[in-house]
Amino acid sequence: MPGSIPSLRDVAVHAGVSAMTASRVVRGLKGVKPATAERVHQAIEALGYRPDPLLTALAGRRKRKGHQVTSVSVALVTPGSDERVWRDQQGFHATVCAALKTAASFGYGVEFALGGDTLKSWERVLRMLFVRGVVGLFVPPVQIRVPEGIDWSPFSGVNLGYGVRRTGFDTVRHDNYQMVSLALDRLVHRGYQKIGVVLSSSEARTDYRVGGAALALGAWGGAVGKVLPPLMLDQPASLLSDVSRRKFLSWLRACAPDVILSLHADILLGWLTDAGIGVPEDVGVAGLNLNADQETPGIAGVAISPGRVGSAAAEMLHSMVLHGRTGRPVAKQILCLDGFWQDGCSIRAVGPELAY
């Protein structure tokens, strides 16, 4: 019927196979000859067949010989050609793992793919994922731009965390403004009067929200007059060199902050210790984006759970799939998760007159 949505039976007829065989191919089950599976994939592409997201997601929860059988999948597609851009970063890795684990608990199969650097490579990868029954995409938190002109319409998609990907997908991330606001509030209540904020070029992926929030709150918020102009270290966090260390120590001597707030508190703490500067006796150190899922001995600051970000992203993607929301949304949604204060010995203890 012209204009009708193709069904799995239409795919089977077009490929010259039984509906059972077509179903096995769509669900990625074994026992189908490669040549037959290829005919089914060609029929899927020719007809524009799309598995019904609600029925197939529910079907994926059925048990087969004691094991879960999935008929639709989600994929983690990494821009570029190397998954180490997120695998080697503890927080990023935890976010991705939580997203995929939660998606699997909903009955989805899980796949990995590299998008490459060109529009052609992305088109090839997405076409392959489509015929393999992938309905949803996660894009990890990386500083690699996705090429313009990609047709996202067959897929639901969610960005994990911050990044410069420019997919246009909805995003789940932590709230850097809330984190800075909470940190400044706690530091002011501890009696700190000169709060120094240290940034690195890695924060380009957040559009420098930490620095912007610190400047705004230091001008009009609860930390008025107590926030120094932020120090920018012109290197990414993973590559901070001796040049950055010297720049930091020079700034420390010139500006004399009584506490330092940074996303890179662990690195700065090491530099201070090596320079013989006492923490918190000479200067306090407070972190942002501390990983609540791992121990960070001694460092006070605002903590977040990368796993919560991943799980929330999977829940968002699942809702999209079940409601048939595909492609780039007209108005992108951003779900921001709050951080929470984590005390530590890197700042001075609360005095009786400062206690809440």
Domain ranges for the chain: 1-49, 73-174+308-337, 176-305+340-354
- What tokens does 64 get? 């087969």
- CA–CA distance, 341 with 300 (Å, rounded to integer): 8
- φ/ψ of residue 312, rounded to 5: -65, -35
- CA–CA distance, 28 with 60 (Å, rounded to integer): 12
Angle subtended by helix axes 209-220 and 176-189, to nearest 10: 40
- Predicted confidence at residue 126, as pLDDT, reads 93
Is pTM beyond 0.85? Reply is no
User: Closest by alpha carbon to 190, among 223, 212, 231, 220?
Assistant: 223
| CB 197 within 8 Å of CB 261 | yes
CATH number of 1-49: 1.10.260.40
For 266, 298, 299, 302, the CA distances from 295, given in Å and listed in that order, are 12, 9, 10, 13
- Predicted confidence at residue 54, as pLDDT, reads 45
- Predicted confidence at residue 64, as pLDDT, reads 38
CATH number of 73-174+308-337: 3.40.50.2300
Is domain 176-305+340-354 given the CATH code 3.40.50.2300 in the classification? yes
Q: Which residues of the chain, if any, have pLDDT below 70?
A: 1-5, 27-30, 50-71, 295-297, 350-356
- CA–CA distance, 53 with 70 (Å, rounded to integer): 12
- Predicted confidence at residue 46, as pLDDT, reads 87
- Predicted confidence at residue 186, as pLDDT, reads 96
Residues 242/214/287/236 CA torsion (nearest 10 deg) = -40
Contacts of 253 by beta carbon, 8 Å cutoff, 6+ apart: none
For 254-301, write each residue's pLDDT tens digit.
Answer: 999 999 999 999 999 999 999 999 999 999 999 998 988 776 568 999
For 301-334, write each residue's pLDDT tens digit.
Answer: 999 999 999 999 999 999 999 988 999 998 899 9
Fold agreement between 73-174+308-337 and 176-305+340-354: yes
- Predicted confidence at residue 1, as pLDDT, reads 44
